[in-house]
Amino acid sequence: MRFYEYESRRLVEAAGIPVTDYGFAQTAEEARKIAQEIGGPTVIKSQVLSGGRMKAGGVQFADTPDEAARHAEAILQLEIGGHMPRGVLVDPKAQVKQEYYASVVWDGTAKKPLLLFSDMGGVDIEEVAEHHPEHVGRGHFSNLLPFSDFQAKQVIAAAGVTGRELTRLTPILARLAGLFQDRDMTLAEINPLAQLEDGSFVALDAHMEMEDEARPRQKAVLAELGIADDDVREVHEPSPFETKVGAVDAADHRGVIQGKDTGFHGNLGLVIGAGGGSLTLTDAVRSHGGDPANYSEIGGNPSVAKACGLAKAVLEKDGVEKLAVMMSIVSNTRVDIVARGVIKACLELGKEPSETIAIFRIPGAWEEEGFKILERYGIDYCDRSISMHEAARRAVASFQEDPAEAEAEAARP
Amino acid sequence: MAGIFIDVEVSDDVRGDCELAKKLQEACPVDIYAAAQEGVEVVEQNLDECILCGLCVETAPPGGVRVLKLYDGGAALER
Amino acid sequence: MSILIDEDTTFIVQGITGREAVNLTRECLDYGSKIVGGVTPGRKGREVHGVPVFDTVEQVVEHNGGRVPDGSVVTVPPAFTKDAVLEAIENGIKLVVIVTERIPRRDVAQMVELAGMRGARIIGPNCLGLVVPGVAKMGGIGGPARNTAQAYQTGSVGVMSRSGGMTTEISSTLTAAGLGVSTAISIGGDAIIGSTYAELMPLYEADEQTEAIVIYTEPGGRMEAQLAEWRIENDSRLPIVAFMAGRFMDDEEMKGMSFGHAGTIVEGKEDTATEKIARLESAGIPVVERIDAIPDAVKQQLSSPRNES
């Protein structure tokens, strides 16, 4: 989960890294007050969970409290990347001598945290790494042994920094490494890490992301920041469909279902599973010219009610007339239970199952029983001898009005 | 009322057996049986969740409980 | 022959009294695997399908006359997994299969680092384990013994997959095509896993039964790039065929969204499907678009002159 900048700064501050005397405001009036207290030029920054704030006009400079309030007013109403801001951060305009960069990320290949540092801060680190590799220092550190200052020094020195700067930066990087580990971060970034005219260092911006899986054990920290359990911070705001499927899943502990439709605009409803199978089948449908209305995942042997709930949510989406029910060979989820669920969904919505379910391809556990049910309702089904791609092709073909033309269309490479 | 896919028949001989009702309630993993004051009660809304484990058939005396697969011409789990 | 496990491999199940673990134990025993004990703290003295349950791994070792089991399948809740895995490794177990999902990365990294120090190997987390067709399986892979037998027949192809379910789908396709499977491994769907493709390749390389490798891959992470580098740097005798799922995630609208597995999320330029396909292909690893195209691609690789030379 991603933190807002004002939250990230609090985390950084709590870890003992200096920050500016900033304030968080949710109204223009609050922003004016904070600017007054700061008593000089300020920067007004949109608190939004998407990048590209600067370009979108979400960062403005103000010389007076009135100007700060005016900017805050505008920024609070400015949507950036599909997100409305949570508020604005009012920051004293710092007298910066030089901007540095520091971050910690996971390296999945080394399976260790990676500490990154550059004396060229304020810009995209990937670009610096590409064009000025000699200005980037990096080093892995252990997950079992405690972090030691020399590891920070090595990384700072590798970027070509020495002297007073090196000794002053060392504890900051060491604390950032500690913050990354203690708080289960997946990204802990300070950019820019600014050296002010008086030689001191402050974090001018911070970007922190915490691993969702670690939220239970970081409860105290999240509570301190006022972040509720249901504040999930998805990249996109959940759609009505996503909310509905989430509620069906939460209502019953048996099995797991997921549904997403952000970025999907088609009319073919997908009731598919499990993790890898869903990815494969979504691709397969699209490769045959099909346009999915959604993405979904069934796993862990859900109840009939849960499978039914997912199928209903998909069928209730605007423009969805048919469902394709498909999975890779199942060993835990039961074919007959899923068959019952999707048929039940059709019946409860007053739809004819044989006309609504374009194809049913789930081979595996309890398939004999499942196929009996499908036969009873006249549903087109297939076993493992029909590949996932062929099943997807049939689903897409069933959409075309002229079956012969559809066959020809689908057969085209 | 039966489910869409599954129905259970509890014979008149055992319907009023409160001891059996408790055992059935414990045995069924999907809560199709409830122990009511009058004996065995069938929870209709859970019928379609039946996983065909046969535990209820085993728990009841022979002929006491039959599980019917409505999609399979009424084929039954019974003993 | 096979890799990692064979007919003599003994293992334990940590968390054996859990609902899924009870199933998995039954399935493995039915398939012929040798489960020599189970551990659930506080449940010493019970039995699960005839397997004695203990409070600690140390007790299992004592019970077995001091013989340390070869492996452990760990299926305990995420908050307790690290402790269970550390317990297995510190008691001398050398192969740990972690079934549990949703374990924080810091814990996974700690387990992996300790395993490296002690010469142990971790498969997973978030995986279904591994199977040597007709010999043994370690984990829920393939489901009940009967279903496992149906999908997995012994043969020449090593399978590694980030998806547990797709390990079976691919193996079933290879079985139906008459190629069969040597050892199939569900390597896990998380961002950090104990054993990556490239880290397992030397084992397959040394296994006479294995003549080709099939991998199932997804967007997210650098595991495929690592395999491509391995392939370029090593003069491997084994041709590799890859299948890439999740191509739709390359759409701009999908950026930053996670699908399927925890590790399946496009975060940078290098971890898109398109980029990975290009990397694999430039390393001589063909990437097929359909599961049912895998057997022919394998046969073609096996008969290509490049491979014979």
Pairing of strands C212-217, C154-161: parallel
Among C residues 164-193, those touching chain A with beta carbons less than 8 Å apart: 164-166, 168-169, 172-173, 176, 189, 191-192
The answer to whether residues C160 and C222 touch, using CB atoms and an 8 Å cutoff, is: no
Backbone phi and psi for residue A41, each to the nearest 5 degrees, phi listed first: -60, 145
Instruction: Flag if B5 and A340 touch (Cβ within 8 Å).
Output: yes
Q: Name the minimum distance, in Å, from the CA of B13 to any CA of chain A.
A: 30
- Evaluate the CA torsion angle A170, A172, A176, A182 in order and state its sign: positive
Higher pLDDT, C22 or C90: C90
Tokens of A113: 């945290």
**Confidence band, pLDDT 50/70/90 cuts, at residue C308:** very low
Q: Which of A253, A303, A335, A340 to mutate to test the interface with B (most CBs of B within 10 A)?
A: A340
Residue that the structure tokens 């399948």 belong to: C73
Instruction: Flag if A369 and B5 touch (Cβ within 8 Å).
Output: no
Which residues of chain A form CATH 3.40.50.261? 240-411
| Domains along chain B with CATH numbers | 6-77 (3.30.70)
Instruction: Flag if A373 and B4 touch (Cβ within 8 Å).
Output: no
DSSP run (H or E) holding A140: strand A136-140
Fold topology of A21-92:
Dna Ligase; domain 1 (3.30.1490)
Q: What is the pLDDT of residue B2?
A: 86
Q: What is the pLDDT of residue A407?
A: 56
**Confidence band, pLDDT 50/70/90 cuts, at residue A233:** confident
Determine the Cα–Cα distance for residues C131 and C139; give it in Å rounded to an integer.
8
Among C residues 9-38, those touching chain A with beta carbons less than 8 Å apart: 23
Please tell me which residue of chain A has the smallest CA distance to C108: A111
pLDDT reading at A254 higher than 90: no
Kindly report the CATH class assigned to A240-411.
alpha beta
Give the C-alpha distances (Å, rounded to integers) separating C117 from A22, A227, C111, C193. 45, 39, 10, 16
Mean pLDDT is lowest, of A263-272, C83-92, C236-245, C254-263, for C254-263
A377 touching chain B per CB within 8 A: yes
pLDDT reading at A405 higher than 80: no
What is the number of alpha carbons within 13 Å of residue C54 lying toward its C-beta?
15
Q: What is the pLDDT of residue C264?
A: 82
Beta bridge pairs of residue C243: C216, C288
Q: What is the pLDDT of residue C309?
A: 41
Instruction: Flag if C106 and A181 touch (Cβ within 8 Å).
Output: yes
Q: Which of B52, B17, B59 has the alpha carbon at shortest distance from B67?
A: B52
Q: What percentage of residues in chain A have a pLDDT greater than 90?
A: 86
Give the C-alpha distances (Å, rounded to integers) separating A114 from A10, A177, C109, C188. 23, 9, 12, 22
CA A403 to the chain's CA centroid: 40
Which residues of chain A form CATH 3.30.470.20? 96-224
**Angle (nearest 5°) at CA C288 between C215 and C139:** 25
Instruction: Flag if B51 and A337 touch (Cβ within 8 Å).
Output: yes
Backbone phi and psi for residue A191, each to the nearest 5 degrees, phi listed first: -155, 110
Q: Does ipTM come in above 0.95?
A: yes
The CATH code that applies to domain A96-224 is 3.30.470.20
The 10s digit of each residue's pLDDT in A170-214 is: 999 999 999 999 999 999 999 999 999 999 999 999 999 999 999
Instruction: Flag if A304 and B48 touch (Cβ within 8 Å).
Output: yes
Q: Which residues, 6 or more positions from C303, have their beta carbon under 8 angstroms from its beta carbon?
A: none
The 10s digit of each residue's pLDDT in A143-163 is: 999 999 999 999 999 999 999
For A163, other C-beta atoms within 10 Å of its C-beta total 7
Which chain B residues are within 8 Å of A343, Cβ to Cβ?
Answer: 4-5
Determine the Cα–Cα distance for residues A305 and B31; give it in Å rounded to an integer.
13
For residues A278-284, give the mean pLDDT: 97
A236 touching chain B per CB within 8 A: no
Instruction: Give the one of A305, A347, A373 whose C-beta lies nearest to B71's C-beta.
Output: A373
Among B residues 11-30, those touching chain A with beta carbons less than 8 Å apart: 30
Cis peptide leading into residue A284 (ω within 30°)? no
Beta bridge pairs of residue A23: A90
Instruction: Give the one of A303, A305, A372 whose C-beta lies nearest to B71's C-beta.
Output: A372
A306 touching chain B per CB within 8 A: no
Q: What percentage of residues in chain C have a pLDDT greater than 70?
A: 98
Q: Name the minimum distance, in Å, from the CA of A51 to any CA of chain C.
A: 12
pLDDT reading at A67 higher than 70: yes
The answer to whether residues C169 and A328 touch, using CB atoms and an 8 Å cutoff, is: yes
Cis peptide leading into residue A363 (ω within 30°)? no
Instruction: Flag if A279 and C259 touch (Cβ within 8 Å).
Output: yes
Q: Name the minimum distance, in Å, from the CA of A296 to any CA of chain B.
A: 22
Average per-residue pLDDT for chain B: 94
C163 touching chain A per CB within 8 A: yes
Instruction: Give the one of A305, A334, A373 whose C-beta lies nearest to B5's C-beta.
Output: A373
The answer to whether residues A73 and A28 touch, using CB atoms and an 8 Å cutoff, is: yes
Instruction: Give the one of A214, A297, A390 whose C-beta lies nearest to C260's C-beta.
Output: A297
Strand order in the sheet with A87-92: A23-25, A87-92, A42-47, A59-62
Q: Can you give the residue ranges of every domain in chain C? A: 10-308
The 10s digit of each residue's pLDDT in B51-79 is: 999 999 999 999 999 999 999 998 999 99
A393 touching chain B per CB within 8 A: no
Determine the Cα–Cα distance for residues A130 and C70; give it in Å rounded to an integer.
46
A184 touching chain C per CB within 8 A: yes
DSSP run (H or E) holding C160: strand C154-161
Residue C206 falls in which region: left (phi positive, over 0), alpha (psi -120 to 50) or beta: alpha
Instruction: Give the one of A277, A283, A295 whose C-beta lies nearest to C165's C-beta.
Output: A277
A159 touching chain C per CB within 8 A: no
- Residue ranges of alpha helices (H) inside A201-360 are 219-224, 240-250, 275-287, 304-315, 335-348, 353-356
pLDDT reading at B31 higher than 50: yes
Give the C-alpha distances (Å, rounded to integers) separating C218 from A286, B44, C24, C242. 17, 43, 26, 10
For residues A35-53, give the mean pLDDT: 93
For residues A330-350, give the mean pLDDT: 96
Instruction: Flag if A304 and B49 touch (Cβ within 8 Å).
Output: yes
Residue C15 falls in which region: left (phi positive, over 0), alpha (psi -120 to 50) or beta: left
Determine the Cα–Cα distance for residues B32 and B37; give it in Å rounded to an integer.
16
C112 touching chain A per CB within 8 A: yes
What is the number of alpha carbons within 13 Å of residue B61 lying toward its C-beta?
8
For residues A8-18, give the mean pLDDT: 97
The 10s digit of each residue's pLDDT in A189-199 is: 999 999 999 99
Instruction: Flag if C257 and A262 touch (Cβ within 8 Å).
Output: yes
The answer to whether residues C84 and C15 touch, using CB atoms and an 8 Å cutoff, is: yes
pLDDT reading at A108 higher than 80: yes
Determine the Cα–Cα distance for residues A121 and C56; give it in Å rounded to an integer.
51
A413 touching chain C per CB within 8 A: no
SS3 label, residue A88 = strand
Residue numbers of C annotated as active site: 261
Please tell me which residue of chain C has the smallest CA distance to A286: C248
Residue that the structure tokens 């790039």 belong to: C225
Which chain A residues are within 8 Å of C289, Cβ to Cβ?
Answer: 283, 287
Average per-residue pLDDT for chain A: 93
**Confidence band, pLDDT 50/70/90 cuts, at residue C119:** very high
Determine the Cα–Cα distance for residues A389 and A384; give it in Å rounded to an integer.
11
Q: Name the minimum distance, in Å, from the CA of B28 to any CA of chain A.
A: 14
Instruction: Flag if A373 and B48 touch (Cβ within 8 Å).
Output: no
Determine the Cα–Cα distance for residues B37 and B35; give it in Å rounded to an integer.
7
Q: At what angle do helices C197-205 and C223-233 cross, to 10 degrees?
A: 40
Question: Which amino acid is residue C43, in one-letter code?
Answer: R
DSSP run (H or E) holding C157: strand C154-161
Among C residues 189-248, those touching chain A with beta carbons less than 8 Å apart: 189, 191-192, 196, 216, 218, 221-223, 226, 243, 245-248
Q: Name the minimum distance, in Å, from the CA of C7 to any CA of chain A.
A: 23
Determine the Cα–Cα distance for residues C150 and C152; give it in Å rounded to an integer.
6
Tokens of C56: 């600690």
Instruction: Flag if C79 and A217 touch (Cβ within 8 Å).
Output: yes
Q: What is the pLDDT of residue A210?
A: 96
Burial letters for C185-197: b for 16+ Cβ neighbours within 10 Å, e otherwise? bbbbbbbbbbbbb
Q: What is the pLDDT of residue A303?
A: 95
Please tell me which residue of chain A has the smallest CA distance to C253: A263
Q: Which residues, 6 or more positions from C228, have their beta carbon under 8 angstroms from its beta carbon?
A: C279, C280, C282, C283, C285
The 10s digit of each residue's pLDDT in C148-202 is: 999 999 999 999 999 999 999 999 999 999 999 999 999 999 999 999 999 999 9
pLDDT reading at C142 higher than 80: yes
Q: Name the minimum distance, in Å, from the CA of B72 to any CA of chain A.
A: 7
Instruction: Give the one of A263, A287, A297 whose C-beta lies nearest to C254's C-beta.
Output: A263
Q: Name the minimum distance, in Å, from the CA of C221 to any CA of chain A.
A: 7
Q: Which of A107, A264, A279 to mutate to test the interface with C (most CBs of C within 10 A)?
A: A279
DSSP of A327-371: ESPBSSS-HHHHHHHHHHHHHHTT--HHHHEEEEE--BTTHHHHH
A307 touching chain B per CB within 8 A: no
pLDDT reading at A401 higher than 70: no
CB pairs under 8 A between A and C: 164
Q: Which of A335, A307, A331 has the alpha carbon at shortest distance from C163?
A: A331
SS3 label, residue C193 = coil
What is the number of alpha carbons within 13 Å of residue A118 lying toward its C-beta?
23
Q: What is the pTM of this model?
A: 0.92
Label each residue of chain B as H, E or C. CCCCCEEEEECHHHHCCHHHHHHHHHHCCCCCEEEECCEEEECHHHHHHCCCCCHHHHHCCCCCEEEEEHHHCCEEECC
A303 touching chain B per CB within 8 A: yes
Kindly report the CATH class assigned to C10-308.
alpha beta
A342 touching chain B per CB within 8 A: no
A130 touching chain C per CB within 8 A: no
Q: What is the pLDDT of residue C256?
A: 77
Q: Name the minimum distance, in Å, from the CA of A336 to any CA of chain B.
A: 9
Q: Which of C172, C248, C265 to mutate to test the interface with A (most CBs of A within 10 A)?
A: C248
The answer to whether residues A350 and A311 touch, using CB atoms and an 8 Å cutoff, is: no
DSSP run (H or E) holding C296: helix C294-303
